[in-house]
Amino acid sequence: MAAKDSVRYTVGFAAAVCVVCALLVAGASVALQPRQDANARLYMQKNVLLAAGLVKPGADLTETELRRIFDERIVVRLVDFATGELVPAERVDAAGFDQRRARNDPATSRVAPPNRAGISRMANYGLVYFVKGPGGVEQIVIAVEGLGMWGTIYGFVALAPDANTVLGLTYYDQKETPGLGGEIGNPTWQGLWRGRKAFDERWEPRITVIKGSAGPPEQDPLRVDGLSGATITSNAVTRLMQFWLSDDGYGRWLTRFREGTGT
């Protein structure tokens, strides 16, 4: 046996400690993974509810309350971007679908068409959330993403049953500069989108974040106030919104929905 003050003993002891610690960390990671996945799913559900206006920013709701609201008001489906049709509910579990994870898996994604939103790959399917009310579907929520100044911006946008009028949005994951581009996460700025139009009269996606101030929605429906000192982020939001509203994203399905065949 090597002496305790020998190099051999020291190296062996350090290696043994590293192995034990690695096993403990790996075991904890595996044990906690289901809980981490559940928390991530709940966070996404909360942001869908925020975009739809079913939960107010800063509301202190329990996990049980959030799940109850989501389960009562939301139906989750998937859109096949290649066809513009809803994926049969029995083919894929929409409620458990992770669009970001699918995008990073070559088996469930494809190279994105040329675009200005900085999107290199996109999942084959996209999440869509039907918000139910007493009279049927009151709004729809779609997932959007695109490259910002410092990283990818992820969010949700809610549209009225006309698949054109913006009812709300949220950007739940972004790395933009605090106080400048980071203001896309400010509920006050997000509130400026309500009542704007996603498409022009030819059904081309035209919603645009401008430099400066836009008029009220009824007078200036296709434009939104820019973010002071954050031109790059403002342009990024315009590009990602227009991409996902186009036929390369949800556009073909939105046309079907407007025509009454997308449900």
Instruction: Place 8 in a pLDDT band, splitting at 50, 70 and 90.
Output: low
Q: Which residues contact 50 (CB under 8 A, 6 or more apart)?
A: 56, 57, 156, 168, 170, 172
Span 19-33, pLDDT tens digits: 554 544 445 444 445
Residue type, position 130, single letter: F
pLDDT attached to residue 34: 55
pLDDT attached to residue 18: 52
Q: What is the pTM of this model?
A: 0.85
7-19: average pLDDT: 55
pLDDT attached to residue 112: 97
Instruction: Place 15 in a pLDDT band, splitting at 50, 70 and 90.
Output: low
Span 201-232, pLDDT tens digits: 999 999 999 999 999 999 999 999 999 999 99
Q: Is the pLDDT of residue 128 over 70?
A: yes
In the chain, pLDDT over 70 holds for what percent of residues?
86
Q: Is the pLDDT of residue 237 over 80?
A: yes
Q: Which residues contact 162 (CB under 8 A, 6 or more apart)?
A: 258
Q: Is the pLDDT of residue 7 over 70?
A: no
User: Please, what is the average pLDDT of the chain?
Assistant: 89
| Rounded-to-integer distance, Cα 20 and Cα 233, Å | 46
The mean-pLDDT minimum among 31-40, 93-102, 131-140 falls in 31-40
| Rounded-to-integer distance, Cα 102 and Cα 108, Å | 5
135-148: average pLDDT: 96
The contacts found for 255-259 with CB under 8 angstroms, 24 or more apart, are 255/84, 255/163, 255/203, 256/84, 256/85, 257/140, 257/163, 258/162, 258/163, 258/164
